A and B are shown apart, each in its own frame.
Chain A
């Protein structure tokens, strides 16, 4: 059991992990960490309790206090579910943006045990996520501690439970990430697949969760017990709820909640401890297997391309000569990257799910509904699908998918008018790829809501038009401040934020103008034109400015 000696090797790994995560603050790392910690404690002990105290006193007699009293165990489960998903998904998604097999090879060649590696990586993540928990937990727990006047001992148990669950979830996510990374590292396309997975992982975890929430009643009826009691976040939430019941000073009795809290406090505690111990044992046993990635990244998989398909040949026939070659190669290069494709699939799935969820939530339009109801639903669905596709396509085509590296830009710039030729090919290539993206969700929405063919066509045109505008805008933002494919760079983060906020701003303003016009002249076509055209115009301007700036010789 060499690993359990916990030599200083794990500490060196944890420290490095922490340094990597805080590299942006490297000049003020110690001061910033200390300040954040001190402020976190002040936040938890003074700021949040005071704010919550005044908020809750305002709510007295509004009925919300009664709701809180009756439903707090269910509320606690929802809050813990959210926290659990967040702590599980985000570290996986973040870590998958970069395969780190090369760093593992260095560690292993320095005679570090696999358990030390796993434990060190986990410990290195604790400060950042610990701070997150420090800031989030008071917001979650204080309303309950104040409302139920929970004693200090009860509060300590509640806080300790949240921290413990956060740590065990982080350990689980660390184990999953390491396993996936090791598996993907065996392929030369590992980085590509990992980036694709980092997008899909959220969907893969969120969809079953949504399903669970929607169908929990029927599943519970089939199984004969509450389906939620199978999940660790429920045990943690129930421990907190039991703490409230046992240590409250307003006389809340357990008998009120016996239908929800089916397991005793001790039972929940045993379950969560067993779960955590099981994860640690699995991690310890599997550490050697996870890190034995054999030939590792050197196991090259060679992809040989076949003949061009009819679609690409068709483009070359329409756009003859160099422009056609540039556009086709631009499409090939974009679509062969799994991360690009996964993002687009993600966008399409969300856009398809929207009308499904809306239909589920609102019910289909009743027979006797007023005639104004139908156009209103059309508008709502159109707007939501358009916004979703515009944002995801914009960030994908215009952000990461725009340029791979600075060196690539040098090559393009070294040819006469190269940047303009590239920009034209890239944007028209994107416009072609957007076509199926706009069509599929629009048709699904049309089928679900029983729209006419004309309505469906209008939705397709609007969705396509606004998505093109978003791609122009986001590509323009990137051209003005190239970030290439480094998703952790400050330029990339800035571009994404600017792109999303600008998109939202333009959409909201267009929407407001659209509604004003609709009040005067209820013409759906005009409404959609108002909604999408500003995006195209502003996007085109930003793109042209970006390309002009990009094609200039560098000065630094």
Chain B
């Protein structure tokens, strides 16, 4: 497998009983690039991320992540990657600093370096005034910011972001965008972003894959995809590919 690829999958599939969540995913993600996986709810995006981050076993197929095999080198994959899960699994009874200390310790970090990083990240996220408050009192956007900080804390080579900005307000979303682009450009960090927010994907991602019902049916740059389906923008292209065009005649029929 090529050394400048951080993700390479071959026929990756996952079934949950009779439900096919992911079907024959063939994908290559360049090192240092920002890749976006778009798709409706239940398309298989989270399943793909969980398999690639070593949390879920695939039913068939194979993949390498940062050069490590997903079947035999899960520990190495976890050390090289960071994951921001779809739903925040924060400890409600820890403060932001304590939670980041906890995540740092799980990644074998401690001491001065860890605390310096935590302080800098809290400052960057605009949470320095609330950093010692228990997380239970944080808004969902603030929690998301803490999770973003926890994901990049150990400077992973590859970052999986599962719906990273869905709970963020526009300014916080813009901040996350900037962090992603800065890390990709300056630190050569690879980003694998799952989202259904087309405007975010269009702004940030160099390559986009559209997943629907477990099948990757479109792959290319945002411009390329828009041109392929003769759409106005990525949202229009997405709707044309995935479906979901609104039938206006039915909009108010529920009153009948």
Contact = CB atoms under 8 A, between A and B. Distances in A.
Contacts of A408: 89-91
Interface in B108-165: 108-111, 132-134, 136-137, 150
A421 B137 contact: no
Interface string A398-419: 0000001111111111111110
Interface in B73-108: 74-76, 78-79, 81-83, 85, 87-95, 98-99, 101-108
Given A404-B92, A416-B75, A553-B54, A329 B85 contact: no
B55 interface: yes
Contacts of B254: none
Contacts of A325: 101-102, 104-105, 110
Contacts of B16: 556
A414 B78 contact: yes
Nearest to A301: B137
A303 B94 CA distance: 10
Interface stretch (A176-184, A201-209, A217-225, A332-340): A332-340
B89 A332 contact: no
A57 interface: no
A417 B75 contact: yes
B89 A302 contact: no
A407 B50 CA distance: 12
Contact of B101 (A329, A414, A418, A555): A329
A322 interface: yes
A253 B243 CA distance: 85
Interface in A291-346: 300-305, 321-326, 329, 332-333, 336-337
A422 interface: yes
A480 interface: no
B187 interface: no
A303 B134 contact: yes
B238 to A, nearest CB: 27
Contacts of A412: 106
Contacts of A303: 133-134, 136-137
Nearest to A334: B93
B106 A329 contact: no
Interface string A538-556: 0000000000000001111
Contacts of B75: 416-417
A475 to B, nearest CB: 17
A553 B51 CA distance: 9
B85 A411 contact: yes
B31 interface: no
Contact of B132 (A300, A305, A329): A305
B104 to A, nearest CB: 7
Interface residues of B, number: 45
B53 interface: yes
Contacts of B92: 404
Contact of A553 (B74, B82, B102): B74
Secondary structure at chain B's binding surface: helix, strand, loop or mixed?
mixed
Contacts of B133: 302-305
Nearest to B95: A305
Contacts, number: 120
Given A322-B108, A407-B88, A415-B106, A553 B57 contact: yes
B56 interface: yes
Chain A CB within 10 Å, residue with most, of B54, B90, B92: B92
Contacts of B150: 411
Nearest to B150: A411
A189 interface: yes
A305 B55 contact: no
A413 B55 contact: yes
A410 to B, nearest CB: 5
Interface string A148-192: 000000000000000000000000000000000000000011000
A555 to B, nearest CB: 5
Interface string A471-505: 00000000000000000000000000000000000
Contacts of A189: 136
Given A302-B137, A414-B78, A417-B75, A554 B55 contact: yes
Given A303-B137, A414-B53, A329 B89 contact: no
Contacts of A300: 137
B147 to A, nearest CB: 8
B64 to A, nearest CB: 16
B68 to A, nearest CB: 11
Nearest to A316: B110
Contacts of A304: 95, 132-134
Contacts of B56: 553-555
A555 B57 contact: yes
B91 A322 contact: no
Contacts of B111: 321
B137 A332 contact: no
Contacts of B91: 329, 333, 404, 408
Contact of B103 (A332, A415, A554): A415
A554 B58 CA distance: 9
Contacts of B98: 305, 329, 332
Given A303-B134, A411-B85, A555-B56, A416 B78 contact: yes
Those 8 A-B pairs whose CB atoms lie nearest each other, nearest first: A407-B89, A408-B89, A322-B105, A336-B93, A325-B105, A415-B106, A414-B83, A416-B79
Interface of B: 16-17, 50, 53-57, 74-76, 78-79, 81-83, 85, 87-95, 98-99, 101-111, 132-134, 136-137, 150
14 contacts: A303-B137, A321-B111, A322-B104, A329-B99, A333-B94, A405-B89, A408-B89, A414-B81, A418-B78, A421-B105, A422-B106, A554-B50, A554-B57, A556-B17
Given A414-B54, A418-B78, 18 more contacts: A302-B137, A303-B134, A305-B95, A305-B134, A322-B104, A322-B106, A329-B105, A332-B98, A336-B93, A404-B89, A411-B103, A414-B78, A415-B78, A415-B103, A415-B106, A415-B107, A416-B78, A556-B17
Interface of A: 188-189, 300-305, 321-326, 329, 332-333, 336-337, 404-418, 421-422, 553-556
